[in-house]
Amino acid sequence: MRFAVIVFPGSNCDKDLFYAIKDGIHAEVEMVDYRENSLDEYDAVMIPGGFSYGDYLRSGAIAAQAPIIPAIKKLAHEGKPVLGICNGFQILTEIGLLPGALIRNRQNKFICESVELIVEDNQTIFTSEYSKKESINIPVAHGEGNYYCDDATLSTLKANDQIVFRYANDINGSVDNIAGIMNSKGNVLGMMPHPERALEKIVGSDDGLKMFQSILKSHMNRVNL
């Protein structure tokens, strides 16, 4: 399985994500520059956290215009896994692959701490190694992580089981304590917490490792069909 980690100007979690895949699940992974225009040779794409373009205008808004974006959309429409973490989640909403928006935290302050998440859906290609309603410890680091959507969108997310992670406690004002959602097709996931920063107990938690193991396992299952 070949992973692509997209690198935008201002990305600062790209190497964390690269090594989460390379050393965490021992899969093939490459850093791909935002100026590229094809991802045809990859099986999955990861959009890392950070501050693409310095969060100028609003988080993810300028990155959404980058040359690589049509290739990300093409890969997503082909049904391949797309994971956006933190700024990556913001970019996925900006380009329309996920509904809603990420706005300023309710307390208008940057949050950097480990938080408790609840796995709401373990029947996805990203979460199959978790148990349903499992409590996991994953770090967050964001100033615009307050997930917002209107009532109709929230109803759709609930009806289609698209809410994958919730915060155990309200940390930033997100609607319904949403920490991560996926598209209706189930192959695009956006989440504000950073699983790539939770791979070893020595750094506080290894609860993020199961996410990358889930993606790899799903791919291997498809290949072996």
**194 is an active site residue:** yes
Cα distances from 166 to residues 51, 116, 147, 180, in angstroms, run 23, 9, 11, 7
**41 is an active site residue:** no
**86 is an active site residue:** yes
Cα distances from 215 to residues 82, 86, 92, 131, 187, in angstroms, run 10, 18, 18, 15, 10
- Which of 129, 142, 196, 219 is an active site residue? 196
Euclidean distance between CA atoms 25 and 215, whole angstroms: 10
- Which of 13, 120, 142, 194 is an active site residue? 194
Q: Token pair for residue 209?
A: 């490792």
Query: What sign results for the dihedral spanned by CA atoms 8, 9, 10, 16?
Result: positive
Write down the number of H helices and E strands in the chain: 5, 11
Closest CA to 17 of 73, 114, 87, 94: 87
Residue 126's CB is within 10 A of a number of other CB atoms, namely: 26
- Which of 13, 86, 144, 149 is an active site residue? 86
Catalytic residues: 86, 194, 196
